[in-house]
């Protein structure tokens, strides 16, 4: 097999050490040198010097948790780095059992058998960390709200059936009164603003049994919610600063139905703005795990389920898709309704999310805003398909047809 990279190296990255194999092609068998370095900054700088002494130009490593990131950051300015997907490397045949991971990676890289994974620029990586942390904090906040609801049910306080948001102004006032020891329904009702429930219903709902244990737990959860609110606000400020170079891209994405400012920020943080990294929109869909898997054997299709992975981007797009399909007389709503009738709700909403990511690829690549094709797009497409099918059928039986629009 031809050697594509004559001077390359493979790295087997661990938490405390990194095993490096430098591979130098020669007239006969290639020369291979293996050495272990620590993952401290000084150890990684020594690794860079050692690789440079062999004239190494390309370096490959597997994406092992987060341990590859500091290695990548230190070596990024010295070599052409290639991040390999561990599953892809595992599926390459021909590996011997006595060959370590670093040597195997170096051999695969030398022959061009490693497909590089997408690694965004440092600014996008930092933005990605912020948006993911924000989503984690939002989920944690929702978890604390659910625990408060369970505490109120345990105390037989039916506040959640009367107030939609128990952490809003009225709900928070009632919770604080309960923590302060107030149990009189009359005084609790006085803290509630305008709601649909009648006064009698409110009095009955707030007549419960609140113990000191309930008060302690309510105070604890509210303190966590306050801390999370402050953290989320700080992250959003930092996201605004980090998004400054990508403000135009986020603005373009926000013109798509269902894409809020937060969703646009997440999409930019996950895929970046340079669409040249993905040859086609289909490559982006495959990377985001939003296209059906190709599992077919002997003419029988076993499964078309989505591959696992890409949950940060996938969940955001699905949430945006649910908002987009509510826009009346839109292309995305028409697509959802057509697919739901044949394939079900879940597959239909995933298909809409995939269409939105496809549109995002074109919008970022061409620098254009969203252009809705309208709900009648599919009707027009079906009419053209029907006409073309009938014309082909008539031509097959000997007629010459000239199609003239009515």
pLDDT digits (tens, 9 = 90+) for 173-205: 889 999 998 888 888 888 887 777 788 888 888
Half-sphere exposure (Cβ direction) of 163: Cα atoms closer than 13 Å: 24
Nearest of 340, 334, 341, 401 to residue 372 by alpha carbon: 334
Provide the pLDDT for residue 1: 65
In this prediction, residue 97 carries a pLDDT of: 54
Work out the pLDDT band at 44, boundaries 50, 70, 90. very high
The percent of residues above 90 in pLDDT, for the chain, comes to: 57
Torsion of CA 107, 113, 119, 122, to 10 degrees: 40
pLDDT band for position 244 (50/70/90)? very high
pLDDT (0 to 100) of residue 299: 65
Q: 262-306: per-residue pLDDT in tens?
A: 999 999 999 999 999 899 999 999 889 888 766 666 666 666 677
The span from the CA of 225 to the CA of 144, in Å, is: 7
pLDDT at 150 over 80: yes
pTM over 0.75: yes
pLDDT at 260 over 80: yes
How many Å is the maximal CA-CA distance in the chain?
Answer: 93
Q: Which residue has the higher pLDDT, 158 or 293?
A: 158
| pLDDT for res 378 | 81
> Using an 8 Å Cβ cutoff, are 267 and 360 in contact?
yes
Average pLDDT across the chain, whole number: 88
């Amino acid at each position: 097999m031809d050697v594509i990279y004559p001077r390359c190296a493979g790295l087997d990255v661990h938490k405390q050490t990194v095993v490096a194999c430098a591979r130098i092609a020669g007239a006969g068998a290639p020369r291979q040198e293996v050495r272990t370095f620590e993952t401290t900054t000084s150890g990684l700088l020594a690794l860079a010097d050692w690789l440079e002494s062999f004239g190494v130009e390309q370096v490959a490593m597997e994406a092992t948790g987060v341990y590859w990131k500091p290695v990548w950051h230190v070596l990024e300015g010295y070599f052409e780095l290639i991040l390999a997907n561990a599953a892809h490397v595992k599926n390459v045949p021909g590996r011997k059992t006595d060959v370590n991971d670093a040597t195997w990676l170096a051999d695969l890289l030398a022959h061009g058998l490693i497909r590089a994974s997408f690694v965004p620029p440092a600014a996008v990586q930092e933005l990605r960390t912020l948006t993911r942390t924000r989503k984690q904090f939002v989920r944690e906040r929702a978890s604390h709200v659910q625990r408060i609801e369970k505490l109120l049910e345990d105390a037989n306080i039916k506040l959640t059936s009367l107030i939609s948001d128990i952490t809003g102004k009225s709900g928070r006032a009632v919770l604080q009164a309960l923590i302060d020891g107030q149990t009189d329904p009359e005084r609790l009702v006085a803290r509630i603003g305008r709601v649909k429930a009648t006064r009698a219903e409110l009095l009955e709902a707030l007549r419960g049994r609140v113990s000191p244990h309930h008060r302690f737990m309510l105070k604890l959860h509210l303190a966590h919610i306050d801390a999370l609110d402050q953290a989320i606000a700080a992250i959003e400020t930092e996201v605004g600063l980090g998004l400054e170079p990508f403000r135009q891209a986020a603005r373009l994405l926000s013109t798509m139905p269902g894409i809020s400012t937060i969703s646009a920020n997440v999409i930019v943080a996950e895929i970046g703005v340079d669409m040249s990294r993905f040859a086609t929109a289909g490559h982006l869909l495959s990377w985001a795990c939003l296209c059906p898997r190709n599992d077919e054997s002997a003419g029988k299709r076993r499964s078309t389920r989505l591959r696992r992975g890409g949950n940060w981007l996938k969940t955001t797009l699905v949430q945006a898709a649910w908002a987009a399909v509510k826009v009346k007389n839109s292309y995305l709503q028409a697509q959802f309704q057509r697919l739901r009738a044949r394939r079900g709700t879940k597959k239909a909403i995933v298909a809409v999310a995939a269409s939105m990511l496809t549109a995002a690829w074109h919008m970022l690549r061409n620098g254009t805003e969203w252009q809705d094709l309208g709900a009648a797009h599919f009707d027009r497409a079906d009419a053209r398909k029907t006409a073309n099918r009938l014309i082909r059928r008539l031509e097959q039986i000997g007629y010459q047809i000239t199609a003239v629009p009515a």
